[in-house]
Amino acid sequence: MTLKDGKTGMVLRVDSIAESGLKERLMTMGLLPGTKISVLRSAPLGDPMAIGLRSYHLAIRRKDAANIQVSQV
């Protein structure tokens, strides 16, 4: 599955990140293969989503989250 399909409350581990303009920024922000992330909530229309990683919170659009392969922990 990809992070795009993440539901509130899920705890996920990043498997890989597909090449995109955002990949390097995501990695710089600490989102790497192996990083544990939790899905916190969604904005009113379901997008973007808020995730928690490395003791901080990040908002990301579902379109960009589709580039992040994850598996449930």
Partner 1 sequence: MSASLSVALTGNPNTGKSTIFNELTGARQKIGNWPGVTVDKKVGYVRHNDKDIMIVDLPGTYSINARSPEEKIVIDYLLTTHTDLVVDVVDSSNIERNLYLTLQLLEQGIPLIIDLNMQDEAEKRGIKIDVKKLEAYLGYPVLLTIARDGKSLKNMLNVFTSISMEGYGASPQLKAHIARVHEIEAEVQDEKERQARLIELRYEFIDSILQEAVEFSHVGTSTSEKIDKVLANGVLAIPAFLAIMYAVFQITFEWIGQPIADALDEFIAGDVTDAVSGALESMEVADWMQSLVLDGIVGGVGSVIVFVPLIFILFFCLSFLDGTGYMARVAFVMDPIMRRAGLTGKGVMPLMMGFGCGVPSIMGARALDSEKDRMLSIMAAPFLTCGAKLPIMALFAAMFFPDNAANVVFAMYVVGVVMAIVSTKLLSHTTFKDDNSTFLLELPPYRMPDMKTVLLETWDKGKGYLVKAGTIIFLGCVIIWFLGAFNGEGMVEDMSESFLASIGAAVGALFTFHGFGTWEAGAAAISGILAKESVVSTIGILYGLPDVSAEAEDAIETAEAMLQTGMGSAFTPLSALAFMVFSQLYTPCVTALGTIKKEAGSWKWMIFAAVYMFVLAWVVSLLVYQVGSLLGF
Answer for the pair 6, 50: CB distance below 8 angstroms, yes or no: no
Q: Residue 45 Cβ, how far from partner 1 at the closest point, in Å?
A: 4
Tokens of 46: 């379901």
Residue 12 or 64 with smaller CB distance to partner 1: 64
Instruction: Write b or e for each residue in 29-60: b if 16 or more Cβ atoms lie within 10 A of its Cβ, otherwise e.
Output: eebeeebebbbbebeeeeebbebebeeeebeb
Using the rule CB under 8 A, is 26 a contact of partner 1? yes
Chosen residue from 27, 37, 39, 72 binding partner 1 by CB under 8 A: 27
Q: Which residues bind partner 1 (CB under 8 A)?
A: 19, 21-30, 32-33, 40-48, 50, 54-61, 64
